[in-house]
Amino acid sequence: MQRYLTKLSLDYGALVVGYTKIRQVEPVMVIGFPFSNKWILNHPFYITKRFGEEVWNSWKLLRNIAHVLRSEGYLVDIKTPLSVFGDFRPLAVSAGLGNWGKNGLVVNPQYGSRLLFASIFTNAPLESTVNQFVSDDINHSCDNCRLCIKACPAKAFEGNRFHKTRCFPKAIRGCSECVQVCQGQNKTPMAAR
């Protein structure tokens, strides 16, 4: 069933899929959807439209997965990228979808920081996929990269520390410089979607 859920997710436009457990007992399916570097607040109608499309696509996928799991008799709780759940980043790292980057986001080897995450909490017997994509190479490349540090207009990175209070005012106005330059292990940035 887990293989089927992964294939279904990828067929519906997810870029990455991983599995983990919270409290080492309850299975969670973590799904990464594309985040485009063209979604900037300088174009509010465009960002709203594109973000809305991705959220709608993620909702359709999550609803289909929930249907499959419920038809097998399992409990399901869906959390979309817009859910007031909390922070999906620790779940994504735990599911092996990336490591913590210097920019405070999850850095995936293939997609850098350009992922939006959603999750499905269930009691289905799903196995964790820790280290599915993560390797020592991504930690090494992030440690030596510094592109996000150089690109930050708020100078939020100082003295090996990330200052959220410097980042937040720029971020709410649409700054995504650290996301745009993050390349993961790729030599060139991912093309805008």
- Burial class (CB within 10 angstroms; exposed 0-12, middle 13-18, buried 19+) of 56: exposed
The C-alpha atoms of residue 4 and residue 60 are separated, in whole angstroms, by: 16
> What are the tens digits of pLDDT across the range 13-43?
899 999 999 877 789 999 998 876 554 445 5
156 burial level (CB within 10 Å; 0-12, 13-18, 19+): buried
What's the mean pLDDT when you consider all of the chain? 78
Other C-beta atoms lying within 10 Å of the C-beta of residue 181 = 20
Domain boundaries, the chain: 2-181
Contact status, residue 63 vs residue 96, Cβ threshold 8 Å: no
Q: Model confidence over 88-137: pLDDT tens digits? A: 888 999 999 988 887 778 888 888 888 888 999 999 999 998 654 444 44
Q: What percent of the chain has pLDDT over 70?
A: 74
DSSP 97: S
Percent of the chain with pLDDT over 90: 29
Q: What is the pLDDT of residue 77?
A: 92
Task: Residue 115: name the closest of 132, 142, 133, 97 by CA.
Answer: 97
Instruction: Write down the residue that tokens 């996928």 correspond to.
Output: 61
Which residue did the predictor score with more confidence, 159 or 20? 20
